[in-house]
Chain A
Amino acid sequence: MTDTTNHLGTTLQAFLDGRLAAARRSEVEAHLGKCPQCRRQLEALRWVRDVALKRLPGEDVPPALAGRVAAALDAAQERSRPAASLTRRRRWAKWAGAGALLAAAVLALLLVLLPRTNLPDAVARDFTEYGGGRLALDVRSSDGAAVESLFARGGIGFPTRVFDLGMMQYRLTGGLLHRLRDRPSALFAYRGPAGRDLVCQMYEGWLGDLPRTDDVREHNGIIFQVYRTRGLTLVFWQEGAVVCVLASDAESEAVIQLAYAKAVKV
């Protein structure tokens, strides 16, 4: 008995990956209902696709690589310029560079004087306040629906998704109608393995409002901006007009993977 003679063979995979027309799909479902061998093959394929290959570790980019790429692009950019205008462009670049430095200094000063623009710091402080018992939850519940109901009743004017992280050993502890800087924020918290806290916030805004970070990642078409501060990892991503952020003092990659697992492309 082989894969192809009496059983579904590659059709199983087309079924698994949603590449069959409705009629053929029904035929496959009927076959699966009476063929344990094809069912076992299907589940094995599904295990590889949905479990095994989702457990691959992600390696960080070597620190020097970004610099090497930038230098290579500089060289390519330089080569592509017409020779006649090179001197003029260099002169302009010199002034532009000085201007950029000045602008950066002014911006840095503004950031110091106006810390309100730095949302990651605010999120990190909220995490610390929560962990220290100085930020009390409005509702203490492990029921996601109860916490979402709090947000709806409390006038949070955008859709919220309280994640179920039970399978990742994070248990919901409750929610809070919060303000992140001056924005209404839906804050909900979890208690994870080894007593680690995880705090999620959702607020209306844009990733572009955040300060620059060197750690920008992409997963399943979603961009994640990662910040590390005071031993915490903060992962921001966009869902429609809402920004979601996870903050925790758990292992950094683990926090990022939680975000990958729960982010939804809108």
Chain B
Amino acid sequence: MSSGEAPEGEGKRELFEGTALPFMRVLYNIALRLTHEPQDAADLVQETFLRAYRTFANFQPGTNCKAWLFTILYSIFVNQYRRAKRQPRMASIEELEERFRHFAQAPGDTASDVTTVEGWGWRWSPEVERALRQLPEDFRSPLLLVDVEGLSYEEAASVLGCAVGTVGSRLFRGRKLLFAMLQEYARQDGYDTGSSMDR
């Protein structure tokens, strides 16, 4: 559509419905994890699709439509929702990072071939959802985009409006913080049972 042949009217609507609307559930889930409120998430998704429709000529066919929609959603979120959101309660970042360092220095080792979804069984985890909600948004967004939604670092950087290196460093800290928060859950789940994970 960047070729200047943007369809109008019914053609545009049809193309938009076929290209963008299948991502409604994905958008709703990421909106829910950003806003924590179903009503806010639904409003955010509606506004995202409306803005995407108005600027559909900017979307380049063949590129990642999901990433393009995330860019719009995140921009609306930052401007309209983030300022109003309350800070989640969590242990301090320094405390969690210290907990992660302590874990890494503990005796024992982990087998390197067991940490896959299949190797660890497969079930929903409200614990992970709860921990993710407590992560500061700066760390939560890269995790959602890269680890949950499968975007590349470069695509995530474009969505978040930051450097690729920033995505990498926030992802690194976010993963460490999440592990520190989930250490007890991981142990109950069978992770690293042979070694100390005391805090």
Contact = CB atoms under 8 A, between A and B. Distances in A.
Nearest to B177: A48
B22 to A, nearest CB: 5
Interface stretch (A38-46, A112-120, A150-158, A230-238): A38-46
Nearest to B105: A37
Interface stretch (B76-84, B86-94, B145-153): B145-153
Given A1-B105, A52-B128, A57-B124, A73 B13 contact: yes
Given A59-B32, A65-B24, A45 B175 contact: yes
Interface string B161-199: 000000011011001101100100010000110000000
A73 B104 contact: no
B13 A216 contact: no
B9 interface: yes
Chain B, interface SS category: helix
Contacts of A52: 125, 128, 131, 178-179, 182, 186
Contacts of A221: 66, 150
A52 B120 CA distance: 10
A254 B9 CA distance: 39
Given A51-B117, A69-B46, 15 more contacts: A41-B100, A43-B110, A45-B175, A47-B191, A50-B116, A56-B125, A56-B128, A56-B132, A59-B29, A69-B45, A77-B53, A80-B54, A168-B122, A218-B25, A261-B117
12 contacts: A41-B176, A42-B112, A45-B176, A48-B175, A51-B115, A52-B179, A56-B124, A56-B125, A59-B29, A62-B42, A65-B46, A73-B16
Interface of B: 8-9, 13, 16, 21-26, 28-29, 32, 38, 42, 45-46, 49-50, 53-54, 66, 100-101, 103-106, 108-112, 115-126, 128-129, 131-132, 143, 147-148, 150, 153, 168-169, 171-172, 175-176, 178-179, 182, 186, 191-192
